[in-house]
Amino acid sequence: HAELAWLLNCATPMNWLERMIQFKDKAKKAGTESVGVGLFTYPILMAADILLYQADRVPVGEDQRQHLELARDIVRRFNGEYCKGGPYKKRCKKAGIPSFPAFTEPEAMIVKAGGARVMSLADGTNKMSKSDPADGSRINVLDPPKVIRDKIKRCKTDSLPGIEWDNPDRPEATNLLQIYAAVQPERSREDIMEEVKDMKWGDFKPVLAEAVVAHLEPIQKRYAEVRADEEYLRGVLKEGADAADEIAQRTLKTAKVAMGFSIPK
């Protein structure tokens, strides 16, 4: 990953990275002299993670769309500059590889209907994140039922009567309804609103908690089964790693040949 990222660094204009939101926000707050090179070039490492395995579709949240667009721009630039013409075909022939473009241009897979963004239990305007220092702000996949119930019981709500969807002044209400809908994909919004329209927060929170617990139960059960069979787990991991490494090595070799590097036999 790091090796391909360095190659892509050499092919990516600096002004493309200066447009990235994370860098712009940090530079605006602290000044460019305080922003590390790691943050500046991190989007290229993300692109390398994708392009190394020839992914054609990538599931991302809406907030990651810009990163994927950068990866697509890099593919077009790299393939256009390094993977055309007679010299490229000659290098490929000498290296014993097909003279195809080095990278596949990936498409974004954005989850619709609110499923792509689940907001924090502590603040309905911020995204739920595993990096948040407050564990109560999120529901972890392996949280025991009691922990889930306690987190939802303590989660932030408002003092307004009723429960409603899509009111910009009530982000926590919308978020909890989104979570409730997400763990019951077979139900419509209209069906859910009919159920909760007369509820207060004290009534709704236990119902939401039980729905989340029921949704995660089979996932947690399967996780426990897999973790209990260490030999099987290590076998699957090795099989996946070997398959991924084969694709990665082939892609890296093609990128090096495209850029004119000498490949040891």
| pLDDT value of residue 112 | 60
What's the rounded mean pLDDT across residues 203-207? 97
pLDDT at 45 over 70: yes
Q: What is residue 219's three-state secondary structure?
A: helix
Q: What is residue 127's three-state secondary structure?
A: strand
pLDDT at 200 over 80: yes
Catalytically annotated residue among 84, 89, 94, 130: 130
Q: Is 112 a catalytic residue?
A: no
| pLDDT value of residue 89 | 95
Q: What is residue 96's three-state secondary structure?
A: coil
What's the rounded mean pLDDT across residues 177-204? 94
Start-to-end CA span in the chain (Å): 22
Catalytically annotated residue among 127, 197, 238, 265: 127
Q: Is 127 a catalytic residue?
A: yes
| pLDDT value of residue 195 | 96
| Low-confidence winner among 20-29, 170-179, 227-236 (lowest mean pLDDT) | 20-29
| pLDDT value of residue 111 | 64
Q: Which amino acid is at 219?
A: I
Q: Is 26 a catalytic residue?
A: yes
Catalytically annotated residue among 24, 26, 156, 253: 26
